[in-house]
C-alpha cells in the first residue's frame, strides 16, 4: 500500500494504482504524486493500536501485539513523517498517526449509468462532484458523499420552500416499494451488485448503495429523500410533546396571572365558596401541567 496525504486537511489516499502527476483532494488542495523515500525512525508507538511503547519492549502493553523492529520486507511509509512501518501497520510507529486511507477521488471520470448503461458526465451540485445520466436523469454520488449531498439538498429545499409546508411524504405520493419489481443495479466502479436500502428505513425511497464506492439515485429520488427529511422535521416540530415544551413559559405566565387575580380579588372570592373552589382547581391543573 502506498499512501498520499493532503497537506491541508490531512486526508489520506490509497495511491498504489494511481499514475497521474497529481490529484486534487476533496478540500481542493493539489497533492503531488511523488514516490516517498522511507526513513528509519525510532519506534514510539504500537503499529497495531497506536499505544505508546518503550524503546526496549518486544510487545505492546495495551494490545499485546509484537513490536516489529526489523523491516526487511515491503514497508508502509507514513505520509506525515515518512517513517517506515510494517506493511500491515494501522498506526505509524514513529509519530502515531492512524492509517485510514480513502479511495482516490473520481477526478472527473465518466462512469457507465447503472440504469441505462450510457456514460454519465460529471457535474457539481452544491460544490459536490457527482455523475448525472443525461438519459434517465439518475445520479451517482461517489466516495460516500451521500450524507453531505442530502444536507445540501435539504438546505436548498428550505430556502426555496420557506413559505410553503410539505403536505405529505414522498412515500404517500409514490407506489408501495414492496409492490415494485426488484432490480439490483451494478456499481459503475466495481461492476458488483449494489445493496438496496429503504432510505431512513421507512421513507419508501429505495436507494442503491455500494459501500466501497458510492450511492445511486434514480430520477427524483434526491428530491423525494430531501422531502421526507423535511416532513419528518415538521412532524417533530408539531408533535404534542413539543407543543408542551414550547408553551411552558406561556402556561407559567397564565398561572402567575391567575394567582395575582386570586390575591387581588380575595374579598370578592370569599363571598362565593364555589368561585374559590373553581379557582383552586384551575391553579392545581396548571401546576400539574408544569411538572
Q: Helix, strand or coil for residue 131?
A: strand
What's the rounded Cα separation, in Å, for the pair 89 and 71? 12
**Which pLDDT does position 107 carry in this prediction?**
63
Question: Hey, CA dihedral for 56, 60, 66, 67, is it positive or negative?
Answer: negative
> What pLDDT is attached to residue 31?
93
263 contacts: CB under 8 Å, gap ≥ 6? none
Instruction: Please count the other Cβ atoms lying within 10 Å of the Cβ belonging to residue 263.
Output: 9
Task: Provide DSSP, 39-63.
Answer: B-----B-TTT--B--TT-SB-TTT
Positions in the chain short of pLDDT 50: 163, 165-173, 243-246, 267-291
pLDDT of residue 97: 95
The beta-strand segments (E) located in 2-95 are 3-5, 12-14, 22-24, 30-32, 75-77, 84-86
Quote the cell numbers at residue 53.
Answer: 511503547
- Angle at CA of residue 158, ends 154 and 162, nearest 5°: 165
Task: Provide the grid cell at 221.
Answer: 429520488
CB neighbourhood size of 95 (10 A): 14
Give the gyration radius of the chain's Cα atoms.
30
Amino acid at each position: 500500500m502506498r499512501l498520499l496525504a493532503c497537506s491541508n486537511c490531512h486526508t489520506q489516499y490509497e495511491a498504489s494504482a494511481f499514475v497521474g502527476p497529481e490529484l486534487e483532494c476533496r478540500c481542493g488542495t493539489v497533492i503531488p504524486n511523488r514516490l516517498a523515500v522511507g526513513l528509519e525512525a525510532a519506534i514510539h508507538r504500537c503499529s497495531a493500536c497506536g499505544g505508546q511503547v518503550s524503546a526496549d519492549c518486544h510487545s505492546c502493553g495495551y494490545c499485546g501485539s509484537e513490536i516489529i523492529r526489523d523491516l526487511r520486507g515491503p514497508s508502509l511509509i507514513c505520509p506525515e513523517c515518512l517513517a517506515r512501518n510494517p506493511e500491515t501497520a494501522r498506526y505509524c510507529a514513529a509519530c502515531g498517526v492512524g492509517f485510514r486511507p480513502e479511495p482516490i477521488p473520481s477526478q472527473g471520470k465518466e462512469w457507465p449509468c447503472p440504469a441505462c448503461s450510457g456514460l454519465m458526465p460529471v457535474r457539481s451540485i452544491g460544490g459536490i462532484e457527482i455523475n448525472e445520466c443525461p438519459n434517465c436523469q439518475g445520479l451517482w454520488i461517489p466516495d460516500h458523499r451521500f450524507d453531505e449531498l442530502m444536507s445540501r439538498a435539504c438546505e436548498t429545499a428550505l430556502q426555496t420552500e420557506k413559505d410553503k409546508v410539505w403536505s405529505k411524504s414522498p412515500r404517500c405520493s409514490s407506489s408501495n416499494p414492496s409492490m415494485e419489481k426488484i432490480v439490483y443495479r451494478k456499481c459503475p466502479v466495481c461492476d458488483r451488485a449494489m445493496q438496496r436500502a429503504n432510505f431512513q428505513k421507512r421513507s419508501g425511497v429505495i436507494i442503491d448503495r455500494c459501500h466501497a464506492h458510492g450511492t445511486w439515485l434514480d430520477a427524483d429520488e434526491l428530491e423525494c429523500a430531501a422531502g421526507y427529511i423535511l416532513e419528518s422535521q415538521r412532524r417533530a416540530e408539531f408533535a404534542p410533546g413539543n407543543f408542551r415544551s414550547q408553551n411552558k413559559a406561556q402556561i407559567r405566565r397564565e398561572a402567575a396571572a391567575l394567582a395575582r387575580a386570586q390575591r387581588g380579588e380575595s374579598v370578592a372570592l370569599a363571598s362565593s365558596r364555589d368561585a374559590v373552589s373553581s379557582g383552586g382547581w384551575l391553579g392545581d391543573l396548571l401546576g400539574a401541567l408544569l411538572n
